[in-house]
Amino acid sequence: MTSFAELGLSETTLQALSDVGYTEPSPIQEQTIPALLEGRDIIGQAQTGSGKTAAFGLPLVEYIDPEIKDCQAIVLTPTRELCIQVTQALRAYGEPKGVDVVAVFGGAPIRTQQAQLRAGGQIVVGTVGRVLDLITRASLILHDCRFVVLDEADEMLDLGFLEDVEKILSRTPSGRQTALFSATMPPPIRKLADRYLYEPEVIKVEAKTLTVDTVEQFRLEVGQKDKPAKLVEVLAAEKPTQAIVFARTKIRCDQLFRTLRDKGMNVRALHGDMSQGSRDGVMLAFKGGRVPILVATDVAARGLDISSVTHVVNFDVPISPDVYVHRIGRTGRVGRSGRAITFVEPKQQSELEAIEKHTGVTMTQWAPGAKTDAAPGAEKPGHAEKPSPAEKPSRAEKPSRHAKPQVDKSVDQEGPWAKLIVAAGKAEGIKPADLVKAVTSAAGIGGEAVRDVKIFERFSFLSVPEGDSQRIIEAVSGADVKGTKISLEPVGADG
């Protein structure tokens, strides 16, 4: 197994990787990092969860000159959530080197983002629309931008952003280095790559572990008009901890949502016609475990990376085998097993055969209690039972899909924030990334729920949503950070 050190990364970057707990590179990282460090343009085809953010983020951090405050690299993302995720990762990788990362996205005050860009922003991570808006206002200048990343380009295509992507690329230097990542490679994305990338190296990582090792795959032959009733039957029989039901269109998505809701199920819909605020609310509720069933289109569900999803139901056969692989990759995460059930209409047998050929797996006919050989020893998921005190997983352990999910509630990031103090700081070798990692890991929250981290010699401060502060304090107190057991306490009114 190749180590990160063997890929040509600097000691500073290797220290950052150690700080965030990375030990060895994933396949996409092993192939991509050396190519980018050599200055090559690359096309990376890999699924969400393969480690592609580090694959482009680590070389990007290597390129940045911390003495130059201008924008040296830009990462374009299709959605606000992905923008936030990428920003958090790049800040962790670049923190030892002093790299300044600024996130710009819609739905947040543009004046605040303009001020952040005036103050620095060597790496800018942004959604396409907001980046173009800032360029138009002359708040974001890309004359010295030597590195461009297009992340999840196929979703940009689905959302109708490619024309704006081209406008942004036209504002960057012709000698830039460009990396394009996409789970699928439809013709418009290939044409974009041909036009804007120079002799790119194509790196494709097959997601075999997603389709064979961790997901039991079933087919269910059903007529079109009988599919809604059959979906209700399948969900009642499977009793998923959390499930994503994929529909091909927004209209079908809304129809299924109403069907399941009217049957008394706790269900939400997620599709591109919803406002960003509504989509964020649904995502937070689903990630927080408060909603067990999500009906979604492919575009809307692209950024979902939730380890507690036990089931994927393809209400409509995916439009391509690549999309099928991407869909069922929403379950069976982090080494857990999952179940994927695909509804097949009589006229869709050829599409099913193409998927089976692509994955190398023959799907098993679904029936209540059906099992396959794809997940040896996996018991059929049923209603999760509350573990006894002796069986409860420790804070550091992840629950299996057969136990009651220990997912914390979502946090209210729009409400007031509580300032907390930590009785440890620089003297204990603690850095901002260490605290963020400790809090998010122990409390089961996203990094965007931790802000204003300040490290002093003997103590540190951070802020979390006020309504969740007590739960976070209880979850994090006692966690080990750099060999020090930390405890969180609220800062008094005079603090």
Q: Model confidence over 313-350: pLDDT tens digits?
A: 999 888 777 678 778 877 765 556 788 999 999 888 88
- In the chain, the domains with their CATH numbers are 5-204 (3.40.50.300), 209-365 (3.40.50.300), 417-490 (3.30.70.330)
Packed helices 432-443 and 80-94: angle between N→C axes, nearest 10 degrees: 130
Whether 150 contacts 156, CB under 8 Å = yes
Which residues in 193-217 are b (16+ Cβ under 10 Å) and which e? Answer: beebbeebbebebebebbbeebbbb
What is the structure's pLDDT at 132? 95
- Rg of the chain's alpha carbons, rounded to an integer? 23
Can you read off the two tokens belonging to residue 73?
């690299």
Please work out, in degrees rounded to the nearest 5, the angle formed at the alpha carbon of residue 323 by the alpha carbons of 317 and 327. 80
State the pLDDT confidence band at 407, using cuts at 50, 70 and 90.
very low
Rounded to whole angstroms, the Cα distance separating 157 from 188 reads 8
What is the structure's pLDDT at 77? 93
Residue-wise pLDDT tens digits, 186-224: 889 999 999 999 999 999 876 544 444 578 899 999 998
Q: Where are the beta strands (DSSP E) in 36-122?
A: 42-45, 73-77, 101-104
Residue-wise pLDDT tens digits, 16-42: 887 776 778 888 899 999 999 999 999
